[in-house]
Amino acid sequence: MWRAVLLCLLAVFSFWSFAVVRGEDAYKYYTWTVTYGAASPLGLSQQVILINGQFPGPTLDTVTNDNIILNVINKLDQPFLLTWNGIKQRKNSWQDGVLGTNCPIPPKSNYTYKFQTKDQIGSYTYFPSTLMHRAAGGFGALNVYARSVIPVPYARPAGDYSLLIGDWYKTSHRVLQQILDSGKALPFPDGILINGQGRPSFSGDQGKTYMFRISNIGLSTSFNFRIQGHKMKLVEVEGSHVLQNIYDSLDIHVGQSVTVLVTLDQAPKDYYIVASTRFTQTVLTAAGVLHYANSGAPVSGPVPAGPTNEVGWSVDQARSYRWNLTSNAARPNPQGSFHYGTTTPTRTIILANTAPIINGKQRYAVNGVSYINADTPLKLADYFNIPGVFSINFIQSSPSGNGASLRTFVLGTSHHDFIEVVFQNNENAIQSWHLDGYDFWVVGFGTGQWTQASRKTYNLVDALTRHTTQVYPNSWTAILVSLDNQGMWNLRSAMWGRQYLGQQLYLRVYNPTQNLANEYNIPNNALLCGKAVGRRIP
């Protein structure tokens, strides 16, 4: 009898073991080789950064919960890192790919990233986080598709296009870095590129609907996007399904991504696809082509004009972006299941950007402190308890008005806090802020100085979540963040020259109880540098 019971138990165990193995999320393996190459995106041959010989780099198409095993081989003559813009790296800031979490990959060496697109869908990007490499390429699209068992709130499109749009310089990334190191701001860019080109073409069949995933991969400039004669239905913004409003054109700020559906419902010919700079004295324009398969004529007429300096127009559009409360995202439960507006923040942090001169050089700062990178990643220093690498809570939770200083600083927070962050922009230029490891509710935009009374204007019902938000000139933007992802996370200006010269900091989301349910262990292939050299990885 006991033998029969034992055999039965073994059979059940074998069945469930098989089920667990079968149920594990997919693994996808990649090898990317990073090299220099030559291209002429603005008609002048210049050095660019290639990934597997491609400029821009390969599109990384994934599905919710995929495990990505990606070996990066660095054949440049400088250290190199890639960061995954908008991928939350749940419990895994070890794979974030910024200098506060990772040692850069030395020349003639490699590093294998291991991360998961956990509970995410949407349009994202990747790009180099080291030096000014981003100005030379090495960027690409990263798309996370819903699992087949999860419905999406629109019919499957006939095609899917990723558009990487951004400002571009004819000047090399090395010279741009020298300009910044000399204490000067970046010059005005030379042009706008769409997928590394001046005039790319996208084809489709008349009467069918196509998805366009549009990302601002540039260094410093917002743009307005439009398609001649066609309406755009906004369906997703950085992982959030939104109310499907119809737009003639869309403002997309540095580091942001949006997804639209476009129906080819016009006469069969070719139409302009246009991106032009916003809030700039000189307007730069790139014009691609939407080609109907049965087209009878090439593009014609003037390139459709877009808005230029109209701030109010852009603010109104930003406020029109609303969360689709009844739609799911990566999970089957509706996005509106969590009532963020009923949760009282545990802390308010006001972050003011400034452009001080320190030691005779242009810098950018947050609450009077301009960040400088340490030679030891903050995450490694924290893990190994290495003193003298960073200062915790040196930065104040609101601007003090004191003089600016240089510092490697970290803002300490607690795991599971729910915080309110106000980005205060007293400069005459638009700002763009990004937070790694999270998305956040963008609850308010306002002019002038934020006050506690500004909360009366917050959208506490259906504000969308995203990872990057704009802050208009002489204005403020307020966000709410649920700190449910333990780790060391970069909060930075998405405008790369400002980030390079100090407009960034790190959030240490801390839990004193070490638990694999909250955060993964250090990877056994972690690169060690600075004061972490020689330390033992368990």
Tell me what pLDDT residue 13 has. Answer: 38
48, exposed or middle or buried, with CB in 10 Å at 0-12, 13-18, 19+? buried
Q: In this predicted structure, what is the pLDDT of residue 22? A: 39
pLDDT digit string (tens) for 331-370? Answer: 999 999 999 999 999 999 999 999 999 999 999 999 999 9
What's the confidence (pLDDT) of residue 268? 98
Q: How confident is the model at residue 393 (pLDDT cuts 50, 70, 90)?
A: confident
What's the gap between Cα 278 and its chain centre? 20
**Among residues 442, 79, 497, which one has the least CA distance to residue 242?**
442
What pLDDT shows up at residue 23? 58
- Report CA-CA distances (Å) from 362 to 180, 365, 372: 8, 10, 13
- Say how far apart CA 191 and CA 47 lie, in whole Å: 16
215 has pLDDT over 50? yes
Mean pLDDT of the chain: 94
CA angle at residue 519 from 31 to 330, to 5 degrees? 70
The pLDDT of residue 357:
97
Mean pLDDT of 438-452: 98
DSSP state letters, 285-348? EEEEEEEETT--S---SSPPP---S-HHHHHHHHHH-BB-TTSBSSSSSBGGGS-GGGSPPSEE
Give the whole-angstrom CA distance, residue 510 versus residue 190.
43
Model pLDDT for residues 29-62, shown as the tens digit of each residue: 999 999 999 999 999 999 999 999 999 999 999 9
Average pLDDT for residues 405-411, to the nearest whole number? 96
User: pLDDT tens digits for 471-514?
Assistant: 999 999 999 999 999 999 999 999 999 999 999 999 999 999 98
Under 8 Å between Cβ of 351 and 423 = yes
Residue 514 has a pLDDT of 87
The mean pLDDT of 174-197, rounded to a whole number, is: 98
Residue 9 has pLDDT above 70, yes or no: no
Residue 6 has pLDDT above 70, yes or no: no
Q: What is the pTM of this model?
A: 0.94
CB 484 within 8 A of CB 416: yes
pLDDT band at 10 (very low <50, low <70, confident <90, very high): very low
Q: Which two tokens stand for residue 249?
A: 């054109």
pLDDT tops 50 at residue 1: no
Which of 287, 292, 290 lies closest to 302 in space, CA to CA? 287
Residues contacting residue 76 through CB under 8 Å, at least 6 positions apart: 34, 35, 36, 49, 107, 133
Report the distance separating Cα 226 and Cα 218, nearest Å: 17
Q: Are the C-beta atoms of residues 88 and 485 closer than 8 Å to each other?
A: yes
Q: Quick one: which of 403, 399, 476 has its CA closest to 445?
A: 476
Cross-strand partners of 337: none
Q: What is the pLDDT of residue 428?
A: 97
CA atoms lying within 13 Å on the CB side of residue 138: 27
CA 496 to chain centre: 12
Q: Single out the residue of 117, 227, 134, 124 nearest to residue 173, CA to CA.
A: 134
CA–CA distance, 497 with 59 (Å, rounded to integer): 25
